[in-house]
Amino acid sequence: MVKIKDYLNSKIIDIQPLLALVLQKNSANLIINDGYRLTTKEKIKLDSLIEKRNKGVPFAYLSGYKGFYNSDFKVTCDTLIPRPETELLIDIALDLYDENQVISVLDLGTGSGIIAITLANQRLNWKITAIDICNKALLVAKQNAKRTKINFIKNDWLNNINKKFDLIISNPPYIKINSKYLKELKYEPTKALVAGKEGLDDINKIINNAPNNLNKNGYLLLEHGYDQQAKISKILQTNFNIIKKFKDYNTKNRAILAQLK
Ligand SMILES: C[S@@+](CC[C@H](N)C(=O)[O-])C[C@H]1O[C@@H](n2cnc3c(N)ncnc32)[C@H](O)[C@@H]1O
């Protein structure tokens, strides 16, 4: 039977986390016990995961979890896999207000719920609402929220939402319909990724409708594609003052913060 070390010495993609997943051991444990021989059942399970990973299925969809900020979140094929870039939105939002300020926040396109839930965990007194159009994604978000109090709503962006918020935050779909990057993202939901010819269809809708749903001096905080900041800034200028443009940790333009005029 094959030993852990045979797999570890192979060039199989993500073999260490795959072994850890199947054997329910951490990396250090795998190395200490690298003489362990996998049972037939474990080998069958591991080989099936290796096959899926080789076909390009992201590791997060195999494990069912992805880390974001300081927690693990359940993910399924109905939710986008959280990206480290999106942690930027959390830091910007937290910096906007004093720790004890009570504010209302709307997370648009919540997916697995990472933004709404992380903010709720960091600021217990914030009143948080989260919207998504996808029922299955909302189910995952609700499971991730556990007992965290968030008002989840199934809705098409801001259509017929009458409430006003202090902060609207969104990581909307922003990829161009014919982008070459979509090939690498084929296992993630198209609805979470693609936004028309220029990738700006959803961002446009959000920017145009947000003024009706923001309190006086309210903020709109958006994640966007690395090449979209100038265009978005222009669209925002009708109703908003641009507060700040942000780069992600790879120094790519990635987020924009605007305040209602
Ligand atoms: C890029 S994903 C972001 C998910 C999550 N907030 C994150 O950062 O990982 C965009 C989300 O917008 C949702 N979405 C797409 N079209 C929508 C619409 N018309 N109304 C509301 N949500 C929508 C998708 O279902 C998806 O969950």
Instruction: Express each pLDDT in 155-174 by its tens digit.
Output: 999 999 999 999 999 999 99
110 lines ligand 1 (CB under 6 A): yes
The answer to the question of residue 64 being in a domain is no
Residue nearest to ligand 1 atom 9, measured at CA:
82
* Gap from CA of 207 to ligand 1 centroid (Å): 15
Specify whether 221 is located in the same domain as 158.
yes
pLDDT-derived band at 182, boundaries 50, 70, 90: very high
The number of folded domains in the chain is 2
pLDDT tens-digit profile of 18-70?
999 999 999 999 999 999 999 999 999 999 999 999 999 999 999 999 999 99
SS3 of the chain: helix, strand, coil, percent, to 5 = 40, 25, 40
Instruction: Provide the b/e sequence for 200-239 (b: ≥16 CB within 10 Å).
Output: bbbbbbbbebbbebbeeebbbbbbbbeebbebbbebbeeb
Specify whether 155 is located in the same domain as 256.
yes
The answer to the question of residue 134 being in a domain is yes
Specify whether 246 is located in the same domain as 154.
yes
164 lines ligand 1 (CB under 6 A): no
Specify whether 16 is located in the same domain as 87.
no
Specify whether 82 is located in the same domain as 134.
yes
Specify whether 47 is located in the same domain as 85.
no
Per-residue pLDDT for 258 more than 90?
Answer: yes
Specify whether 244 is located in the same domain as 134.
yes
The answer to the question of residue 43 being in a domain is yes
82 lines ligand 1 (CB under 6 A): yes
Q: Which residue range(s) make up the domain with 11?
A: 4-55
144 lines ligand 1 (CB under 6 A): no
The answer to the question of residue 49 being in a domain is yes
The answer to the question of residue 82 being in a domain is yes
Mean pLDDT along residues 222-230:
97
**Statement: the pTM of the whole predicted model exceeds 0.95:** yes
Mean pLDDT of the chain: 97
Select from 55, 70, 87 the last residue of a domain: 55
The answer to the question of residue 71 being in a domain is no
Sign of the Cα torsion 132, 138, 144, 148 reads: positive
- Give the domain CATH number at 163: 3.40.50.150
What pLDDT score does 128 carry? 98
188 lines ligand 1 (CB under 6 A): no
Mean pLDDT along residues 138-153:
97
Specify whether 170 is located in the same domain as 256.
yes
156 lines ligand 1 (CB under 6 A): yes
pLDDT tens-digit profile of 105-121?
999 999 999 999 999 99
The percent of residues above 70 in pLDDT, for the chain, comes to 100
What pLDDT score does 95 carry? 98
Per-residue pLDDT for 1 more than 90?
Answer: no
Specify whether 138 is located in the same domain as 174.
yes
What pLDDT score does 113 carry? 98
| Contact assessment for residue 213 and residue 165, using Cβ atoms and an 8 Å cutoff | yes
Three-class SS state of 224? coil
Mean pLDDT along residues 68-82:
97
Q: Which amino acid is at 170?
A: S
Per-residue pLDDT for 218 more than 90?
Answer: yes
